[in-house]
């Protein structure tokens, strides 16, 4: 029995801005030291990002007097409280999560009443009854739908959701699993005098993605993309390299410039462990879906694995068009390969044989999975 990826749907809030605009907005904030202010255009220009999305209307308002999330002044002080940010999260995340969930179900040809499991993923806000229950109510899913919430794991959280979905599919032949990842990272931008905060503010964006997975026998799975295996690796000594904590003025991120090097040190052994179980090498992998946490991370992974630039084009293009949206981002990348695989099969070609998807996050953790064309 194969666990088949039936569909992926993606979406963003309607507020889209260029990276150049975002840099200009941040340069206009009073209180940022002049040396850091001068560096902002270069930080944003070298991010590999052209566009980002946000649920915060203030970022695109022309008149400061119209601000309602930030105070109506150029210093943006006092900063919004965690309670205010979480209130905005609840208002904005529900319609976005519902939108991508409905699209994923429609693409999969799956009626809401046929869904057996919902896995909701988010780390940028919390409330109860939670996102999982709201999805059951809004989508009209059965009240006995089994629910799981994956919270506060960051950029690699979608892989934990995929692992859980695979377990459901392999143990329950009737399973029809809906995964919804929704993150509103821009709610938590912090204005201070640190270079680290300037880099974080230049990378993150808002978005959501949903996927449907189902168990299929060989004939029914033919032409699809199936989840084959997964692997997780926790680095021995990098707990402080990437952090995500709750503060009084929102969630506070820590991001070390050592992250690409830590990943480079661990990635060869990680891939050996994942691929050797299936008698595969990196050369036998047809596609690489690498979470674009930042341009440097993708470039370092490509260098370590020995990939051609074309192999990471989709990861970098998602980064360019959307920024880093945390947990949904890898599904944006995977959707491209799923669509391409189906198009190749529809044209009478073989499609992909095997593919690897990877992401990285607090811990420092490497998470990923192996895909197989059926």
User: pLDDT digits over 34-80, tens only?
Assistant: 999 999 999 999 999 999 999 999 999 989 999 999 999 999 999 99
pLDDT tens, residue by residue, 114-171: 999 999 999 999 999 999 999 999 999 999 999 999 999 999 999 999 999 999 999 9
pLDDT of residue 50: 98
pLDDT score, position 295:
95
Return the pLDDT at 307: 97
Nearest CA among 337, 259, 258, 266 for reference residue 304: 266
% of the chain beyond a pLDDT of 90: 98
Confidence of residue 221 (pLDDT cuts 50, 70, 90): very high
- The pLDDT of residue 312 is 98
Q: Which tokens belong to 121?
A: 């993923």
d(CA 314, CA 332): 9
Q: Where are the domains of the chain?
A: 225-373
What kind of fold does domain 225-373 have according to CATH?
Peroxisomal Thiolase; Chain A, domain 1 (3.40.47)
- Report the alpha-carbon distance of residue 2 to residue 202 in Å, rounded: 40
pLDDT value for 257: 92
Lookup: tokens for 313: 């084009």
**CA neighbor of 323 nearest in space, from 122, 60, 54:** 54
**pLDDT of 291-342, one tens digit each?**
999 999 999 999 999 999 999 999 999 999 999 999 999 999 999 999 999 9
- Could you give phi then psi for residue 121, rounded to 5 degrees? -130, 125
pLDDT for 118 equals: 98
Phi and psi, residue 286, nearest 5°? -85, -30
Cα torsion 270, 275, 277, 280: sign: negative
| Cα 72–Cα 74–Cα 79 angle in degrees, nearest 5 | 65
Average pLDDT of every residue of the chain: 97
Which structure tokens are listed for 264?
A: 């480079």
Nearest to 289 by CA among 199, 224, 244, 354: 354
Q: Is it true that the peptide bond before 124 is cis, omega within 30 degrees of 0? A: no
Burial 348-367 (b: 16+ CB within 10 A, else e): eeebbebbbbbbbbbbbbbb
pLDDT category, 107, cuts 50, 70, 90? very high
Q: Give me the helix-helix angle, 34-45 and 195-203, nearest 10°.
A: 30
pLDDT tens, position by position, 223-251: 999 999 999 999 989 999 999 999 999 99
The residue written with tokens 């666990």 in the block is 3
* pLDDT computed for residue 172 by the predictor: 97
What stretches of the chain show up as alpha helix (H) in DSSP?
A: 19-27, 34-45, 82-108, 131-139, 157-171, 195-203, 218-221, 259-276, 295-305, 313-322, 329-346
């Amino acid at each position: 029995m194969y666990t088949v990826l039936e569909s992926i749907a993606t979406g963003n809030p309607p507020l889209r801005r260029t990276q150049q605009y975002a840099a200009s907005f941040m340069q206009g904030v009073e209180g940022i030291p002049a040396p850091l202010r001068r560096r902002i255009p270069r930080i944003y220009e070298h991010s590999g990002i052209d566009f980002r999305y946000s649920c915060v209307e203030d970022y695109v308002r022309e008149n400061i007097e119209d601000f309602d999330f930030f105070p109506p002044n150029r210093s943006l002080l006092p900063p919004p409280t965690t309670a205010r940010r979480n209130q905005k999260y609840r208002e904005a995340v529900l319609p976005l999560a519902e939108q991508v969930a409905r699209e994923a179900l429609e693409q999969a040809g799956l009626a809401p009443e046929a869904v057996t499991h919902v896995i909701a993923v988010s780390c940028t806000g919390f409330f109860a009854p939670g996102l999982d229950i709201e999805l059951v109510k809004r989508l009209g899913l059965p009240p006995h739908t089994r629910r799981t919430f994956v919270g506060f794991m960051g950029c690699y959280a979608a892989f934990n959701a995929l692992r859980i979905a695979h377990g459901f599919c392999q143990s329950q032949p009737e399973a029809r699993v809906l995964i919804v990842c929704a993150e509103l990272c821009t709610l938590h931008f912090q204005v201070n005098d640190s270079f680290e905060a300037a880099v974080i503010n230049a990378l993150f964006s808002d978005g959501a993605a949903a996927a449907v997975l189902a168990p299929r026998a060989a004939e029914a799975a033919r032409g699809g993309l199936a989840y084959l295996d997964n692997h997780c690796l926790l680095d021995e000594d990098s707990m402080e390299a990437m952090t995500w904590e709750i503060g009084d003025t929102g969630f506070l991120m820590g991001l070390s410039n050592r992250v690409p090097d830590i990943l480079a040190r661990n990635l060869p052994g990680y891939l050996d462990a994942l691929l050797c179980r299936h008698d595969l090498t990196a050369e036998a992998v047809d596609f690489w879906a690498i979470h674009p946490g930042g341009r440097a991370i993708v470039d370092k992974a490509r260098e370590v694995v020995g990939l051609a630039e074309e192999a990471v084009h989709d990861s970098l293009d998602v980064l360019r068009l959307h920024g880093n949206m945390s947990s949904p981002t890898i599904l944006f990348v995977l959707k491209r390969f799923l669509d391409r695989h189906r198009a190749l099969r529809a044209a009478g070609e073989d499609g992909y044989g095997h593919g690897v998807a990877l992401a990285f996050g607090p811990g420092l953790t490497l998470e990923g999975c192996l895909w197989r064309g059926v």
